[in-house]
Amino acid sequence: MPKHFLMCRPDHFTVEYAINPWMDPSAGADRDVAIRQWEGLKSAYEELGHRVSLIDPVEGLPDMVFAANGALVVDRRVYGARFAFPQRGPEGPAYLRWFAERGFEVMDPSHVNEGEGDFLTLEDVVLAGTGFRTDVTAHLEAQEFVGRPVISLRLVDPRFYHLDTALFPLDGRNVCYYPDAFSAGSQALLRRMFPDAVLAGARDAEVLGLNAVSDGTHVVINAEASDLQLELKRRGYEPIPVDLSELRKAGGGPKCCTLEIRGEE
């Protein structure tokens, strides 16, 4: 089934501060390259038959391109983002305003959370990350608002500071993840919940290969995650490799750039 995604063109993208281990302001980033790579991602979605809507980028918010962090959208209910770092603070209201203007039911959160960076929706549950950015109390707040069970998972490696850097849903029932990004208890929980999960190794995780988007058949994935692509093919999925190496300088990949809008049908 075609999906609906919200994206933000990286017109103001740069690496001018460091709020995760991937960011190095002294190395900078090439905005023109980032835009070309982002356009390639957008085209990949459209060629797969998915719909892409755009939010206007805001000058002074270089990370607004990472639309996934802007909200959680389930059944036309939009749980907004409240960012952990002040550099990104204005992004939350900007995304919430976009949805409110289009008639979605929105909630301005009371607790720190970074949208789909740390909330990943499956058919029956929402998986939620904590440990670096999203406060576990936001998991309870989101559960009350969207009306679905929210399962907390603890992240322990600062390179994988959002859940979407360490895990992605393959479909409504199964996931792919990098075990070492999670605490021992969360690993045990994932094994119990998803005994048939696809497991990724360190080499693919370290190129943000887990920051991928699956429609249940195709998996849009960072091109460098070669071993994971082979395993996905073996399991019956079709990898769609994309190059987002410039945006990775800020810790982003395909999923970071992609906020899924659910419930419009």
DSSP code of 113?
B
pLDDT digits (tens, 9 = 90+) for 170-200: 999 999 999 999 999 999 999 999 999 999 9
pTM of the model: 0.97
pLDDT value of position 265: 58
Provide the token pair at 154: 């603890």
Question: Could you give the CA distance from residue 227 to residue 48 in angstroms, rounded to a whole number?
Answer: 23
Residue 256 annotated to the active site: yes
For the chain, which residues score pLDDT lower than 70? 265
Residue 158 has a pLDDT of 97
**pLDDT tens digits, 125-158:** 999 999 999 999 999 999 999 999 999 999 999 9
Nearest to 250 by CA among 57, 73, 14, 59: 14
pLDDT given for residue 264 in this prediction: 76
Q: Exactly one of 50, 162, 176, 257 is catalytic; which is it?
A: 162
Q: Is 162 a catalytic residue?
A: yes
DSSP labels for 10-47? -TT----S-SSTT--TTT---HHHHHHHHHHHHHHHHH
Nearest to 218 by CA among 171, 167, 261, 178: 171
Q: Which domains does the chain have, with CATH numbers?
A: 4-261 (3.75.10.10)
Contact 8, 64 (CB under 8 A): yes
Specify the pLDDT at position 113.
Answer: 98
Are 231 and 198 a contacting pair, CB within 8 Å? Answer: yes
CA dist., res. 173 & res. 175, Å (int) = 7
